[in-house]
Structure 1
Amino acid sequence: MNVREYLESMRALDLSIESKIRQEEMLRTRLTDTAAHIGGDAPRSSSPDKDKIGIVMAEIVDLQTERNAEIDRFVDMKAAIKDAVKALPNEERVVIEGMYFSHIKANEIMAQLYCSRRTVYRIRDKAIANLEKNKKVCHLCQLV
């Protein structure tokens, strides 16, 4: 794996974590709605609804387990490359941290650095080349 692939996998992992958080929120809403339905005044067979609650709770637990494993992996990956990114020149650091750690779009980075989109991508490519010169980073990418 090269540096760009490493950074992209970090970014994808972070987006996956965010997605799981949103899924969990939706499941919690579904759980609350189902529980409210059971507690309502209408006489119903509660067994199917209780089964739904159990299923939703199991989905939440599974999602939390997956999310926590991804968070651990993301934190480890980010910590491993953090020092190398901090050592980059300011513009390069801003672009790498923005694009890969904070999910800032190129347009926002353009405004922040007062440059063109093309320049943002040139800076990104230069930063990645500089990271690839770092033996620790190259070793790290080989481990993944």
Structure 2
Amino acid sequence: MKLKATFAVLSSALLLQGCIAGVVVGSAAVATKSATDPRSVGTQVDDGTLEARVENALSKDQQLKKDARVVATAYQGKVLLTGQSPSTDLAARAKQIAMGVEGTAEVYNEIAKGRQSASALRPPIPGSPPRCARSCSPATR
């Protein structure tokens, strides 16, 4: 019985060595990023939360979700919108939505007018029919 307990403890210790290295490296990366950013850690957290809130609000607009690709970046309460939109009206709607999010001090709208680039297209949802651009083969249209 004692041999089994010893084996279990040694096995656990060996398996956890990889986890500890990951935690140490990850913590060091976060500490370095926080230390080199001129914002306080609290402001960094607030900006990250604001980015998530703005992106969540934008994703609730079905037309924006379907036709545009918009990314929000927050810095000290100011939000920068980048991406692509098929029309300036849709880009303006994204700015209005971002302005309505609590904590937003200002919005800079740098959404380019045009179709989404191929690298910006979202992957299809599993089980959904394929979305085709002109380059799709006739078999998938």
Structure-1-length-normalised TM-score? 0.30
Hey, which of these two has a bigger chunk of strand by percent?
A: 2
Give the structure with the higher percent helix: 1
